Structure 1
Amino acid sequence: MSAFAQDTWVKPFMKQYKKTLLLAIFLGFLTFFSAAALMFNSGYLISRAASLPENILLIYIPIVFTRGFGISRPVFRYIERLVSHNWVLKMTSKLRLKLYQTLETDGIFVKRHYRMGDILGLLAEDINHIQDLYLRTIFPTAIAWMLYFFIVIALGFFSLWFALVMALLFFLLVAVMPVWSILVNGARQEQEKRYKNGLYTELTDNVLGVSDWIFSQRGEEYVALHEANQAELLTVQQAMRRFNNRRSFLIQCVFGLILLALLLWTSQRFVGNHGGQANWIAAFVLSVFPLIDAFSVLPSAAEETNRYKESIVRLNQLSVKEEVEAHPVLEGPIEITIDHLSFTYPNSTKQVLKQLDLTIPAGHKMAILGRSGSGKSTLASLLRGDLVPEQGQVCLNGIPTPLFGDAIANYVGVIQQSPYLFNTTILNNLRLGDPTASEEKVWEVLQQVGLKGLVESLPDGLATMVDEAGLRFSGGERHRMALARLLLKETPIILFDEPTVGLDPITEQALIDTFLTTLKDKTMIWITHHLQGIEKMDQVIFIEEGILEISGSPEELAKTSLRYQQLKAIDEGRS
């Protein structure tokens, strides 16, 4: 309740559309009332017709009521579904819009607190849970409590003591069973959601680095890791199913007691007058059956509040804006300094980087090696300012990278494993680097990256449409396009994140040569596990378990480092 009291995501929509919400709840109440009334009249009608079949006028009014409630039940049900689902879809659509706007506006700050797997968890799980909060918890619970009070008050007109008995039995369904479910099964549901979110994060991190797993011949370890996590999730889910089965049995037992109590009470109250009033026995007993659907869902609806609570907390944690009034402006050569850098991801005990110290002068060419999970990609995110260090700092000319905000793109450019090209013209794709660039300038950078001949050979030249994700171009051509963008932007520091993965050796070498030729005056930081072309770097470092293990020029390491010699031999297929 405390999480919901401080909520700024879900609660405002409840206030905004409260009239529609109340209408949906009332229509739900009328649906179950009509269903119970239909069975009540049907029971009375059948019993009355069997006792006095010769007088049709005595059962005419019950026939009319039966027809009326028979029609009203599906009508109310249909309208209630229209109103409630329209309300929920309208609310969740605005909730999704707010989430997307938050992720877009504060994207760089979100990435400091959440990894990609966390964002997928938000998009795939939390929004759906918030939607279910209304459809599976708020609506059924409100309707059931309305029915509960109506039933107790209505029975009170016939018998006060019996109304109290039924109040106690129905209280087991509307209060005791839900609380029991929250206490017993709620913790398991929180575990289930944590395991699912963990799988999102681990799968995302490891799939993005799957080439490292394969290259290090740890594929079986990769599969075993996720099998173990999946097994833990399945164990929790099996325990939840066993509890749900026991709970369903107990709910049916409670309804059995309600039916038995009604049968005994009506038998004592209405038997008499030569059995004429006994027609009410079937009416009262049959009216209970439609109510089973209204009350049996309450325990499962209540226990899911744990899921909703965590989703609401995560969404409210997301809406944290870190405004920077003015971004620093750098001029001249840019030196990167990494001073006592340490980093640990939130909700993790593993320190990814430990007391890392580096200095990268302007125009320096550095290669970063390391196994999957050693901290290479985390270091790249810290260099871009996407993450905030736990200790120490990463600075450009003495200014910490997080202070640059989105302006970091003016100083640090990135070429990833699979550069993305948009479904628009080649010219528009390249002008993402500089929207004001002339066509003459675009042709110039295409010449530099070796694509001018290719583009000139196309019928529409720069106006050629690029398929979504740039699939009409080869991997090497997409990388050259990405490089052309950065040349237009004139970014002084270029960060390469495994850019040659998946390319054949000839294409890879040609691409490396292009990078080195066109970026000879710029700072290059090359994250790789493949040592082809590494001898042309100024410095090579090797990170192991977050610690800087090896550092030196390729020539020095080739002579003095056994580890480097072994890696080079493996890469060249000599061992």
Structure 2
Amino acid sequence: MRSLCRMRYSHSCRTRQSSLSRIDYPPFVMPIVSCMLRTDASWNLVAMRSSCSRPADMQTLYTLGIGPILVKGVLNMNNSSVSSKPRLRELLHFLWPRLGKQRKTFILAIVLLFTDTILMMYIPLLMELYFNRIGDLVYISWLLIIGTLFTVLMMGLNMIGFYLKQHTIGSLHRDVMVELADEAQRLPLENTLASHTADITQRVAQDSGRTTWTLVTFLEGMGGQIFMLILAAAYMFRLQWQVALAVIILMPLGLLGSHLLRRPLQRIGLEVAEQEAIVRQSQQDALQGMETLRAFGAESWMLQRFIEHRSKLNELYLRRMWWRQLVNGITNSLAQLIVWGSILFIAWLAIKGTFQLGALMAYFILVWRIFNPLLNLGRMWGEIQENLGAAGRVFTLLNAKKEASIPPVIHVGETSAIRLQEVCFRYAEKTGLQDVHVAIELNHEEKQLLSGFHLNIQSGSFTAIVGPSGSGKSTVAKLSAGLLHPKEGAVMIQGHNPQHNAEYARQFVSYVPQTPYLFSGTIRENLLLGRTDAGHKDVEQAAKLAQAHEFIMALPDGYETLIKEHGDSLSGGQKQRLAIARALLADRPVWIFDEATSALDVETERKLMEAILDTTRRQGRTLLCIAHRLTTVQEADCIILMEDGLIINHGTHLQHLQNKNGLYSKLWEQISGERPAV
């Protein structure tokens, strides 16, 4: 069987990349900051952000069909992103429905937490009654007893409210994290390959918490402070309506500072969240790349890079502190004016003899009951604005573009296992996680790797793709497996288009990369990922076909042996054989091996390929192999030769060797050390 292929070049596109605006210090602190901070002018933030770790686990999940399909977003090597900027009402609209059946419990918790406010307002009432009846011992005794019982009751209700709040918000945070983790797991592979996993982790683990607790800050925190102000104002109306009216009119001034500075607070909140993700990246790189760092003696380089990233975060923390202090200063000044104005007016009324002693004492306490809420309202509103910056990163992840998941359409009469039609593909560079609701202009060149690419692999055939490194072989393999999606054209897998329903189309393919990913757990658990209902005999049979059974049984616990993180306790060849066994056990009609045997010795590779080829011939499966060692694919029905993104020839092994001066013959001579005899 033969596969006809042709390619043509096309011009690459130019786009422009937008960058996040930087935030400045408040003007009055610039001289102080310039003295306190010293940064290296040669430090390039973008360059440091570009050290990415490859999310191989996501690729494996896609391959096995156990990672749901999503695609909302384009991830960036430099980690900058185009984030949505949600307003508070949008955030509340997002969080409130996710409370589900616990909404009533949460409302009850907030009401019970307001008992603390009632208790705070009970104190001035108690003072008024006490000083007005200071000579009546019986009355005062009963007053103290009732006051004590009331205090105990309010404290008990407050504790119940606190527990209910923690339970409901904890559940909400868990649900939001699970939703974000699911969204992140569904991100398109071509975009996540250009991203650092730490940035996604930051959005799921940290930004989700800030987003969720904004609901608590707004309803419990600000709601409680407003409730206290209302009670205090109502009490004041009973004592002196003129002062109460003035306080109510001036009350909104407490939010003036944080409201005027809401945009800088949102921006600094976003910058802090993104820089925290970069620091997390440095930590992750240092741990995952420890072997390489020690091999090259680069520990000091990594430490210096971490110091620079952490210093940048400290700078942002300091900048955020200055903005917070500016908000607090404005709020404190306005609150002081209101409070001292009230005190002076009350003192004037007391001098005139208008107030009784009890009312005067109650009024002084009420004044401070107003002062603290005004300060807290300004502070909490500022915190909410900062959290909206982190919420923007969460919304960006949620709103990023996703893979389509429409009902599969069966194409009657389709005889091809894999068919690529007019496929154009390029790897996007420096695109960030992008909200579909936010317009963005990109400013980067994208390398056009494939253009007008055609490939037709018949069912039951053995097709190989060979060629020099960088010729596009692995890209074709990933496109054929439904892991990557073409920019133009279509890919058909068993008659199904992955761009319509990638999860369904990928169920027909078992894909094994050159560097497989093994999850923490036992060998058996790793093999069962693609087919959880397989019995022990099926597991052993797949392992034997992959030449893995012998070394597995040599391990102390056999198939129950625990694998360390990333499978680091195994050799490269052992990991490849386990990955092949996992693919075989998945029992799918199409097998795609992308340099899947590169770490094996020649004899083991020969036995493995003989067993696999015998199985494919006997069961009518389709096999696509990407290989550097031509000895691996000599028996292929069709060997496709690629160079510089182009298919330059195709045919059997012997047909290729007939052209003694061709690229295939040169590659054969390099590997075998023999000139073609044909």
| Residue matched to 1:413 | 511
Residues 308 and 32 (structure 1 numbering): CA distance in 2 closer, same or farther, change over 3 Å? farther
The reply to whether residue 32 of structure 1 matches residue 117 of structure 2 is yes
Match of 1:467, as an amino acid?
L
Say which SS state the counterpart of residue 405 (structure 2) adopts. Answer: coil
CA distance in 2, matches of 1:286, 1:474: 73
Q: Deviations over 1:78-127 (max 9, x none)?
A: 23212222222233344445556x559xx556657766556434421343
Residues 328 and 417 (structure 1 numbering): CA distance in 2 closer, same or farther, change over 3 Å? farther
Q: Are the equivalent residues in 2 in contact too, given 1:411–1:491 (CA < 8 A)?
A: yes
| Residue matched to 1:166 | 247
Residues 491 and 178 (structure 1 numbering): CA distance in 2 closer, same or farther, change over 3 Å? same
The reply to whether residue 124 of structure 1 matches residue 205 of structure 2 is yes
| Residue matched to 2:624 | 523
Say which SS state the counterpart of residue 425 (structure 2) adopts. Answer: strand
Residues 460 and 203 (structure 1 numbering): CA distance in 2 closer, same or farther, change over 3 Å? closer
The reply to whether residue 263 of structure 1 matches residue 343 of structure 2 is yes
Say which SS state the counterpart of residue 560 (structure 2) adopts. Answer: coil
Give the alignment partner of residue 105 of structure 2, picking from 20, 23, 38.
Answer: 20
Q: Larger % of helix: which?
A: 1
The reply to whether residue 90 of structure 1 matches residue 136 of structure 2 is no
Deviation (angstroms), 1:264 = 1.5
Q: Are the equivalent residues in 1 in contact too, given 2:256–2:331 (CA < 8 A)?
A: no
The reply to whether residue 300 of structure 1 matches residue 382 of structure 2 is yes
**Superposed counterparts of 1:62-461, under 5 Å:** 63-64=144-145, 67-68=148-149, 70-72=151-153, 74-98=155-179, 102-103=182-183, 116=197, 119-173=200-254, 175-196=255-276, 233-271=313-351, 277-289=356-368, 294-295=373-374, 296=376, 297-304=379-386, 306-307=388-389, 309-310=391-392, 313-314=395-396, 316-317=398-399, 322-326=404-408, 331=415, 334=418, 339-344=423-428, 345=431, 347=434, 349-357=443-451, 363-366=463-466, 369=469, 382-394=479-491, 400-403=497-500, 405-406=502-503, 407-415=505-513, 417-420=515-518, 423=521, 426=524, 430=527, 443-455=540-552
Q: Deviations over 1:358-400 (max 9, x none)?
A: 5666521336735xxx999877654432343334455558965
Deviation (angstroms), 1:534 = 7.5
CA distance in 2, matches of 1:226, 1:508: 40
Residues 142 and 232 (structure 1 numbering): CA distance in 2 closer, same or farther, change over 3 Å? same
Q: Are the equivalent residues in 2 in contact too, given 1:343–1:391 (CA < 8 A)?
A: no
Say which SS state the counterpart of residue 340 (structure 1) adopts. Answer: strand
CA distance in 2, matches of 1:442, 1:449: 11
Q: Deviations over 1:260-301 (max 9, x none)?
A: 23322222223466x993454343223444565544143334
Higher mean C-alpha deviation, range 257-266 or range 393-402: 393-402
Deviation (angstroms), 1:210 = 9.9
Match of 1:284, as an amino acid?
Y
Give the alignment partner of residue 10 of structure 1, picking from 95, 109, 112.
Answer: 95
Residues 141 and 160 (structure 1 numbering): CA distance in 2 closer, same or farther, change over 3 Å? same
Q: Are the equivalent residues in 2 in contact too, given 1:401–1:408 (CA < 8 A)?
A: yes
Structure 2 gap segments, 5+ residues each = 1-85, 435-441, 617-622, 634-638, 650-655, 672-678
CA distance in 1, matches of 2:283, 2:501: 31
Q: Are the equivalent residues in 1 in contact too, given 2:527–2:581 (CA < 8 A)?
A: yes
Say which SS state the counterpart of residue 114 (structure 2) adopts. Answer: helix
Aligned positions, number: 534
Higher mean C-alpha deviation, range 201-210 or range 238-247: 201-210
Q: Are the equivalent residues in 2 in contact too, given 1:40–1:282 (CA < 8 A)?
A: no
Higher mean C-alpha deviation, range 226-235 or range 264-273: 226-235
Deviation (angstroms), 1:31 = 0.6
Residues 205 and 103 (structure 1 numbering): CA distance in 2 closer, same or farther, change over 3 Å? farther
Residues 26 and 8 (structure 1 numbering): CA distance in 2 closer, same or farther, change over 3 Å? closer
| Residue matched to 2:561 | 466
Say which SS state the counterpart of residue 363 (structure 1) adopts. Answer: strand
Q: Deviations over 1:407-441 (max 9, x none)?
A: 32423412353432674574x75455567877666
Q: Are the equivalent residues in 2 in contact too, given 1:129–1:311 (CA < 8 A)?
A: no
CA distance in 1, matches of 2:257, 2:212: 23
Match of 1:323, as an amino acid?
S
Q: Are the equivalent residues in 1 in contact too, given 2:267–2:386 (CA < 8 A)?
A: no
Residues 271 and 181 (structure 1 numbering): CA distance in 2 closer, same or farther, change over 3 Å? same
Say which SS state the counterpart of residue 354 (structure 1) adopts. Answer: strand
Residues 266 and 519 (structure 1 numbering): CA distance in 2 closer, same or farther, change over 3 Å? same
CA distance in 1, matches of 2:501, 2:104: 46
RMSD: 5.1
Q: Are the equivalent residues in 2 in contact too, given 1:17–1:87 (CA < 8 A)?
A: yes
Deviation (angstroms), 1:339 = 2.7
Q: Deviations over 1:316-337 (max 9, x none)?
A: 5269673332265765664656
Q: Are the equivalent residues in 2 in contact too, given 1:430–1:481 (CA < 8 A)?
A: yes
Higher mean C-alpha deviation, range 209-218 or range 57-66: 209-218
Residues 251 and 203 (structure 1 numbering): CA distance in 2 closer, same or farther, change over 3 Å? same
Say which SS state the counterpart of residue 424 (structure 2) adopts. Answer: strand
CA distance in 1, matches of 2:284, 2:597: 19
Residues 204 and 61 (structure 1 numbering): CA distance in 2 closer, same or farther, change over 3 Å? same
Deviation (angstroms), 1:196 = 4.7
Q: Which has the higher contact order (CA 8 A, sep 6+)?
A: 2
Q: Are the equivalent residues in 1 in contact too, given 2:115–2:155 (CA < 8 A)?
A: no
Residues 431 and 25 (structure 1 numbering): CA distance in 2 closer, same or farther, change over 3 Å? closer
Q: Are the equivalent residues in 2 in contact too, given 1:341–1:355 (CA < 8 A)?
A: yes
Deviation (angstroms), 1:149 = 2.7
Match of 1:419, as an amino acid?
Y
Q: Deviations over 1:533-568 (max 9, x none)?
A: 57867678677xxxx49989999669999xxx9xx9
Deviation (angstroms), 1:17 = 4.0
Match of 1:302, as an amino acid?
I
Residues 315 and 560 (structure 1 numbering): CA distance in 2 closer, same or farther, change over 3 Å? closer
Deviation (angstroms), 1:497 = 7.1
**Superposed counterparts of 1:562-573, under 5 Å:** none
CA distance in 1, matches of 2:110, 2:538: 64
CA distance in 1, matches of 2:604, 2:336: 76
Match of 1:313, as an amino acid?
F
Match of 1:356, as an amino acid?
L
CA distance in 2, matches of 1:558, 1:465: 44
Q: Are the equivalent residues in 2 in contact too, given 1:3–1:312 (CA < 8 A)?
A: no
Residues 96 and 431 (structure 1 numbering): CA distance in 2 closer, same or farther, change over 3 Å? closer
Residues 445 and 63 (structure 1 numbering): CA distance in 2 closer, same or farther, change over 3 Å? closer
CA distance in 1, matches of 2:284, 2:473: 16
Deviation (angstroms), 1:242 = 0.9
| Residue matched to 2:3 | none
